[in-house]
Chains A and B, each alone.
Chain A
Amino acid sequence: MPCKRKLIVSTYYDENELDDEVHLSKGVFGRLLKLLKKYWILVFCGVASIAFVSWLDAYFTMLNKQIIDDAIVTKNVSLMIRLFGNYSLITLVQLAGFFVMMYSVGLLGEKLRYDLRRDLFNHLQKLSLSYFTKTPLGWIMSRVTSDTEKMADLLTWGITDSIWALTNIGFAVYYMLRLNAQLALIVVLSLPIMIFISFKFRVKIYYHFRRSRKANSKMTASLNENITGVRIVKALLREDQNLKNFKVLSTDMFRESYRAGLLSAIYLPTIQTISAISLVLILWRGGNMVGNSLISVGTLQAFISYIMFILWPIQDLARVYAEMQNAVASSERVFSLLETKPEIVDRSEIIPTNSLVGNVEFENVSFHYETDEPVIRNLSFKIPQGQKVALVGTTGGGKTTIVNLLCRFYEPSEGTIRIAGQDYLNYSLEDIQSRIGVVLQIPHLFSGSIRDNLRYGRLDANDEEIEEAARLAGAHEFISKFENGYDSNVGEGGNQLSVGQKQLISIARALLANPNIFIMDEATSSVDTLTEALIQKGMHQLMSGRTSFIIAHRLSTIKSADQIFVIEDGQIAESGNHQELIRKRGLYYNLYTKQFRHDLESRLDPFSPTDAVESPA
């Protein structure tokens, strides 16, 4: 029986979601900048053009002032024509800058998205199975799809907007100071207040925003699970309850987004009102000054323009700042995924090999999943090359775990596994896994055609070889009955096939790989007796010469094994061939004869040789 253990499930995917103070850690920024390094030309174009555009934005107001004061008020037509000419030219230049900015920043964004997705995907391929067991699929999905978007947005529009805003404010203040220091002071004094309030608001707004993001990821996870388990949901009539649960999440989402929205709705008018106050002051003071001819009308107009315009950069800055917190949190999540070390990696020195022909040996192997409670305890055995070994035992005994170790999905916590005389840690993962053909307990197919799925076993297999493997696995017959034969779609996860059909295709797929070591983990548990008998001969032939591991509960599958291990509580409780084990009258005997004894108790035993049917030879 299995030992007590705490199962580690999805505990850490919530961690980063809701820390309110995100420390804009240097490490993250450094890494973000590193992402940009490759595209420094684009970055340069973007930054230069945005600064240029922003400067011109501030300059136009000055130009307007000049037009009013020097041309209109003085009625100087020729100057006015010249000024308008300049205006047009500068506009054209600015638009060119705008174009460069749009394109380079947009392109940069797409490139970063591409890079990030690629890096994440490539890294995910390296991570070990244990990672995928404890990390919800929806969590990983949202890292790759939505967090990368946010990072790219931060690195492109986030930076663009802040550069634009800062340049704009800077130039505006500069021009205002040049126009009139006294009036400029009013604006300059109001700036810190506006900025302070902006940041306060934005932090609050994004507090809710982030909570809504969290609600969002929970909603996505719930949706994901409901879709993948929809058959059970329907069979158990859980629709109403699940909708109710979902509504709790969508209500959270609503509440948080609504609050964020409401705060935003208050924020902008607040800033506008503050700017209104400084505007009133400027009109009052400035009006007086114009009246006293201390400043020109154009100057007053320019001030009004600046102060009304400066709202936007401030608002932008505040938005970028707050979004930045969010995007930095996204970046941290992405980087933390990229930094997750695969638990199982190739050792620094590997022995390249293209065959794993040889003995398979477990020496004092112990293993536990995430907890300290052992699943495999001090397991030792040696299997000579070419032998067929059967693993049997009560469920949960650790058979699949042994397979996981053998395929190096996990590595032993203690002890050594040797293949062909070498500690298997000395081989590369790829060499091991491409030499071992395994049929997993849960048959999984990818959506696509049957042919594609079979070819997964050997990418360069031709159609004849595929058919040959399907024949050996007893799959050819049903495949050829489908209208589209080998080109029939199997549906997501293979759900358009019967379970037995999926198992047969998985077997064929593993056969096609032509492995040195063959493992079948309850590979025919849902296959009918006749088909099983049919393929057994072929399989037998195929396995001869290959070391093979068979896990099964049916006697028919295991009887002919050279050795049978009864796995109980992570240990070999008994071993030997069928005859020997029966003679032992131990666990194996009990496992396979209990049914007889049970049947004898309940009714006459139907399989006794003296029953109605002639005793089969």
Chain B
Amino acid sequence: MTTDIKNYKDIDISKITGDKKLPALWHLMHGYHLNFIVANLFTGLAALARTGMYLYLGDFIDRVIQSGIKGSNLFVSALSFGALITLQALSSFISSWMATLTAESATRRLRDYLFDHIQHLPFAYHSEAKTGDLLERATSDVDTIRRFFADQSINMGRILMIFIVSFIAIARINLRLALISIIIMPIVLVISMFFFKSLSRAYEAYQEQGAVLSTNLQENLSGVRVVKAFARQDYEIRKFDQENLKKFKLGKKFVWMHSLFWPLTDILCAAQGIGSNYIAAMMVINDAMTLGQFITFHGLLGWLIWPIRNLGRLIIDTSRTFVSLGRITTILKARQEDMTSASCEPSESIRGDIKFENVSFEYEKAQSVLEDVSFECKAGDVVALLGSTGSGKTSLVNLLPRFYDVTAGKILLDGVNLNEYSRQFLRSQIGVVEQEPFLFSCSIRENITYGVHREVSEEEIIAAAKEAAIHDVILEFKNGYDTLVGERGVTLSGGQKQRVAIARTLLINPRILIMDDSTSSVDMETEVQIRSALENLMANRTTFIIAHRIQSIMNADLILVFDQGKIVQKGVHEELLNQPGIYQDIYEIQARIDSALQEEIDRVNIL
């Protein structure tokens, strides 16, 4: 059994994403072409054996009738007939075997490729894409392609072989009869081509609507809390029903077209069969043909018409495959993020000097998110970002690991333009605690070690958890670190999730640490705990902190105040405090509350 897979890197994407669909399908089988050809050859052989059976059968009957062979002679003849069947059986076995091997291997590679491709697509792609839609394409459409490789493409060989062999065999009996027997072929072809167009359109619409339904369902399920919170079940039901009904109608149309197509071609084929049989029968009556020849012809005719009839089906099935292939290649056409190419490949860790020079950034054309941002910090500095909602803080820190690239200006890391490092390298040096923590549905331990690509000792895990002030909480769960968290971490509270995410990043021990509003759901007391643990950790690494509370950032070496994508103030706490501006405003609001609290505390203490 050859079950080795060829590396998926064997496929050359440019050959798949071209306009020509058949070469693309051919290329998807790369590395299994030999198997594919063998499969097709053996279907041919099977077809040959089958035709042989009919020839033999005719011959046999003629001899039985004319010479009256009897006894053991007859048995031998019968046996050779059996041998032909066995040959046919053996060939069809080899053919299906090779076909399965080809189909399963090629699809497995395609699946791996798609998985890897999707996870290497840039952030920008994912923020537009719909999960339900991607899933539908990576599962249902891939399966359509698998079926094509397993059945339909092998049928192509079979159809061709059977057709040629049967035609030649009939032609040897009577050429004219053979020619008469294929007059419907062009008509079937024309009809199939006609249906090809409209059926593939119908199928595409049907498939797309399937994706709409999946997306609809996916959104409904992932937003189930919101649906319930607003008691919008009826609304959702109506919305789903609309799309569902649309799919039903498209399906009905599809069924209607099929019900027209099959009987229509079948009528033609039946007419052909009856006509040819009639002519042949007349020939026997007119002694232009023996009875045995007629029986042979009768058998063969079925195998001559069968390919014609199936050619139509093949064309229709191929149209489906083309639709699915098209849906897959739209994903494949999207450019992957280049993870490795770099003109600067430091052999060791970075220091962490960072300089922004007139950096501008936009997600969509002409919608500037960051404008002309310049600042500088030294290795080991703590840079704090403060600013209004949507002012571009998250966007700015997302530039560092090159989740997005700057639109204008440049960022220097250790004096080298960021674009010269590979993304792979940068991401291995930078740890981000995301603003909205995402946990995977596995144990807490696995979540904490998710970002380290080596064996991690229990002590290290515990140390990270302690720094994130989550260790004690974990211990109180019955299964401790082996506690499973639900999808996205739903079975943890908001603050618990954030702290697991912090522990996950701390364990990586990155040179540059980014904390994006990562204690927003944590109470003051715990935050203080985390902050003091971080103080040691931040000592010799460049750290970016995004926070809204002055308390959390006032010790920073550099504070950047953002407003609408621009740095409106920068400096250290004391400087900013004395400038009129946003910082002072924020400070005053917070200080008002805090000083009031202070007064109250003092009052309490005096009492």
A497: chain B residues within 8 A (beta carbon): 390
Interface size on B, residues (CB 8 A): 204
Complex: how many Å from CA A585 to CA B564? 42
Q: Which of B383-397 contact A (CB under 8 A)?
A: 386-391, 394
Complex: how many Å from CA A115 to CA B259? 22
A102 within 8 A of B: yes
B96: chain A residues within 8 A (beta carbon): 261, 264-265, 268
A612: chain B residues within 8 A (beta carbon): 574, 577-578
* Cβ-defined partner of B285 (8 Å) among A2, A77, A304: A77
3 nearest interchain CB pairs? A395-B495, A500-B389, A261-B100
User: Are A530 and B388 closer than 8 Å at their CB atoms?
Assistant: yes
* Cβ-defined partner of B221 (8 Å) among A6, A107, A140, A500: A140
Q: Which of A498-520 contact B (CB under 8 A)?
A: 498-501, 503-504, 509, 513
B374 within 8 A of A: no
Report A248-268 CB contacts with B as 1/0, cut-off 8 Å: 001101110110011011101
A247: chain B residues within 8 A (beta carbon): 112
**Distance in Å: Cβ of A4 to nearest Cβ of chain B:** 5
Chain A minimum-CB-distance residue to B122: A234
A246: chain B residues within 8 A (beta carbon): 112, 115-116
A52 within 8 A of B: no
B88 within 8 A of A: yes
Q: Which of the 9-residue segments B179-187, B241-249, B309-317, B353-361 touches chain A?
A: B241-249
**Distance in Å: Cβ of A447 to nearest Cβ of chain B:** 6
* Cβ-defined partner of A369 (8 Å) among B85, B217, B491: B491
User: Are B259 and A103 closer than 8 Å at their CB atoms?
Assistant: yes
Complex: how many Å from CA A106 to CA B252? 8
User: Are A10 and B435 closer than 8 Å at their CB atoms?
Assistant: no
B214 within 8 A of A: yes
A-B contact pairs, 15 of them (CB 8 A): A98-B263, A107-B255, A223-B115, A235-B427, A243-B112, A262-B97, A269-B92, A287-B77, A291-B69, A394-B526, A396-B492, A400-B493, A498-B390, A553-B520, A606-B550
User: Are A606 and B285 closer than 8 Å at their CB atoms?
Assistant: no
Q: Which of A461-505 contact B (CB under 8 A)?
A: 478, 481-483, 491-493, 495-501, 503-504
A262: chain B residues within 8 A (beta carbon): 1, 97, 100
B97: chain A residues within 8 A (beta carbon): 261-262, 265
Given contacts A395-B494, A501-B390, whether A109 and B255 have CB atoms under 8 Å apart is: yes
Q: Which of A287-305 contact B (CB under 8 A)?
A: 287-288, 290-291, 297, 300-301, 304
Q: Which of A1-48 contact B (CB under 8 A)?
A: 1-10
Is chain B's binding surface mostly helix, strand, loop or mixed?
helix
B92: chain A residues within 8 A (beta carbon): 265, 268-269, 272
Q: Which of the 9-residue segments B25-33, B191-199, B456-464, B579-587 touches chain A?
A: B579-587
Complex: how many Å from CA A64 to CA B273? 12
A573 within 8 A of B: no
B164 within 8 A of A: no
Given contacts A102-B259, A529-B586, whether A433 and B217 have CB atoms under 8 Å apart is: no
* Cβ-defined partner of B150 (8 Å) among A102, A227, A261, A445: A261
* Cβ-defined partner of B81 (8 Å) among A102, A144, A280: A280
Interface size on A, residues (CB 8 A): 198
B118: chain A residues within 8 A (beta carbon): 223, 226-227, 230
Chain B minimum-CB-distance residue to A255: B3
**Distance in Å: Cβ of A601 to nearest Cβ of chain B:** 9
A188 within 8 A of B: no
Complex: how many Å from CA A445 to CA B123? 19
Among the interface residues B1, B229, B499, B520, which one has the most CB atoms of the partner chain A within 10 A?
Answer: B229
* Cβ-defined partner of B494 (8 Å) among A442, A555, A556: A442
B278 within 8 A of A: yes
Report A87-112 CB contacts with B as 1/0, cut-off 8 Å: 11001100110110011001101110
A231 within 8 A of B: yes
**Distance in Å: Cβ of B350 to nearest Cβ of chain A:** 15
A229: chain B residues within 8 A (beta carbon): 438, 440, 488
User: Are A609 and B64 closer than 8 Å at their CB atoms?
Assistant: no
User: Are B256 and A103 closer than 8 Å at their CB atoms?
Assistant: yes
**Distance in Å: Cβ of A391 to nearest Cβ of chain B:** 11
A351 within 8 A of B: no
**Distance in Å: Cβ of A332 to nearest Cβ of chain B:** 21
Chain B minimum-CB-distance residue to A64: B298
A542 within 8 A of B: no
Q: Which of B237-279 contact A (CB under 8 A)?
A: 237, 240-241, 244-245, 247-248, 251-252, 255-256, 258-260, 262-263, 266-267, 270-271, 274, 277-278
B271: chain A residues within 8 A (beta carbon): 88
**Distance in Å: Cβ of A401 to nearest Cβ of chain B:** 8
Is chain A's binding surface mostly helix, strand, loop or mixed?
helix
Among the interface residues A1, A106, A269, A429, which one has the most CB atoms of the partner chain B within 10 A?
Answer: A269
Complex: how many Å from CA A268 to CA B485? 47
Q: A10-B484, A499-B435, A525-B521 are in contact. List 17 more A-B contacts (CB 8 A).
A: A3-B476, A4-B478, A88-B270, A137-B222, A231-B403, A234-B119, A240-B453, A277-B82, A300-B61, A400-B494, A409-B225, A430-B231, A446-B226, A498-B390, A553-B523, A553-B524, A592-B597
Complex: how many Å from CA A595 to CA B517? 18
A237 within 8 A of B: yes
B341 within 8 A of A: no
Among the interface residues B255, B532, B587, which one has the most CB atoms of the partner chain A within 10 A?
Answer: B255
User: Are B363 and A582 closer than 8 Å at their CB atoms?
Assistant: no
B483 within 8 A of A: yes
A160 within 8 A of B: no
Report A141-153 CB contacts with B as 1/0, cut-off 8 Å: 1001110000000
B208: chain A residues within 8 A (beta carbon): none
B588 within 8 A of A: yes
A273 within 8 A of B: yes
User: Are B295 and A227 closer than 8 Å at their CB atoms?
Assistant: no
B344 within 8 A of A: no
B101 within 8 A of A: yes
Report B207-230 CB contacts with A as 1/0, cut-off 8 Å: 000100110011111111111111
Complex: how many Å from CA A582 to CA B554? 25
A264: chain B residues within 8 A (beta carbon): 96, 100
User: Are A287 and B78 closer than 8 Å at their CB atoms?
Assistant: yes
Complex: how many Å from CA A231 to CA B36? 39
**Distance in Å: Cβ of B102 to nearest Cβ of chain A:** 10
User: Are A137 and B218 closer than 8 Å at their CB atoms?
Assistant: yes
**Distance in Å: Cβ of A138 to nearest Cβ of chain B:** 8
B120 within 8 A of A: yes
**Distance in Å: Cβ of A256 to nearest Cβ of chain B:** 9
User: Are B593 and A522 closer than 8 Å at their CB atoms?
Assistant: no
User: Are B551 and A396 closer than 8 Å at their CB atoms?
Assistant: no
A125: chain B residues within 8 A (beta carbon): 220, 227, 233, 236-237
Complex: how many Å from CA A180 to CA B240? 60
**Distance in Å: Cβ of A512 to nearest Cβ of chain B:** 10
User: Are B82 and A258 closer than 8 Å at their CB atoms?
Assistant: no
Chain B minimum-CB-distance residue to A304: B57
User: Are A84 and B278 closer than 8 Å at their CB atoms?
Assistant: yes
Complex: how many Å from CA A258 to CA B96? 11
* Cβ-defined partner of B217 (8 Å) among A95, A141, A503: A141
User: Are B227 and A528 closer than 8 Å at their CB atoms?
Assistant: no
User: Are B595 and A607 closer than 8 Å at their CB atoms?
Assistant: yes
A169 within 8 A of B: no
Chain B minimum-CB-distance residue to A84: B278
User: Are A4 and B247 closer than 8 Å at their CB atoms?
Assistant: no
